[in-house]
Structure 1
């Protein structure tokens, strides 16, 4: 029995594939993806952006390959980065073959728009020859004409049928090394489609609410849709689609997974909204701490509470806690225990030092307990 059964999430049983050296599905951690918005043909700009995404913690990155200039640059990009690169392919089967040869770890395709059965076979053969996995990407905005005629509009059944039809195309070519997505900008449609697909197959699922919108609106929309699916145990890899810096997509993705206890990376800050009881400027303090602690990848928790109403209780549950005490008399908690008091001056520098030291201690302990190779 779990100590807190109300927090348990039972993940859907899916088969496992690999995107480069990153496992997706099975019992592997749920991975966080994003997509570059540079011109892929501009290798230098694309590499720079991917390295920024790596610093944010990305597991897998996708780049669009619409033309020969893009696939020509792909080999240089793949060599220069440390995460697997997915080549996003639409319509032209030759771009998929070129991307596989260039070192793409995965090909994001829609088998139905690649062309004839012979062309699909060529793409599959290239994936086999160069060790690529694939993602079947179904989108409500580009469903096949015959499905729109059959169902009258994009709907969950149409999206699931499209996905399974495309899966069959790859299966008929003796290829099962793929994951599937059924994205829509409508949260209700996307969630229902993923629920139906999860019941219909055991392939790994790539979650996303497509074209979700701006940083704030898109994050909220994605959290509602993807969060409900993840809570239900559905999803093996995720991308938060935002009209914003791709780094923000990675941050939002990890926050979703951290909130649900599905991934643990970096400092999880618990903070109050502040009110007239606050004994220091909570909002500004948290804003600066988020920026100053962004480099910490070690999983840990920090509570920043402005007064003694909830501060001690929250501090008992976090690695480090700060509770406002008034007149420069703020209590710092370490591992849930009241440890020392500090005044207003230097709150942020003091907390940063404590977090960095705690992270170093956690990392050192992990090394000490790691099994010898």
Structure 2
């Protein structure tokens, strides 16, 4: 069942078009993220789903019902911002119960629902605690409980972890995922943090310049990026430009010994200039076994990252390739001569530009 769908949705502020003909479908019970850099239109898209903004054109549907003109208080959604907006004069129980009291529910029902929800967010026993006495992570969980206790069809989250320190962010990422799975409520989550989106999402949409560049699972987005923007925005990659020579299900860069498998051969023609995306961790240094691709290189820079080491390797034509390897006691020193290798199934040919660049 589809929880939310956006059909050719656009949003303009004056002459500035910030969301450009977006088509999206979010499944019931899915953790779906909108990921992209600042200014890409992801928060505006979320605000249109919530009812804080009205689409300039197109339709927003929630469970099959058109929502364009439905006011925010009548939509089956709740919205959580980066700032929790808790009521400082109310304790934890009263904050969570606030929406239920507005619905004039019986006291016994309110107590049961609040108790169940505080258990879901691991805050049982905190009912009488002032929200000012809570940590940032605990306050965020109170905000989540307050939103979920009303049983919305969709919970909308606008960068809710952005103001927290890294360690707390990581812990609450796991908590949010656990809460979403235990409740089965559809989450639509806005973030510019790539690792956050990849960690928590069932699927995600990568946005750029008001458009959706690609929708897919975290693995699809990372391993089979559709555009150069997606490949470079999601983690680190090597984008190698060249002319492609197609034969059967494989392709070779005519100006170098780089071979890759083509999933969709019909997308490319002999002589076409395109890009190849090669993730740093998929490249082996001095591989013990023969690999489909082998290139001589010199270590140009070494960057220690803790559990891994990031190398910048200079190849014969002067280009630099990022190569990432597990840290060990004998890293390669700058100036060392090495051979780089990778198999053809890890090198992916992609669109030479982003969708946003294509249409300009």
Q: TM-score interval w.r.t. the shorter chain?
A: 0.3 to 0.5
Greater strand proportion: 2
Higher helix fraction: Structure 1 or Structure 2?
Answer: 1
Structure number with the bigger relative contact order (C-alpha 8 A, sep ≥ 6) is: 2
**What TM-score do the two structures reach when normalised by structure 2?**
0.38
Larger Rg: 2
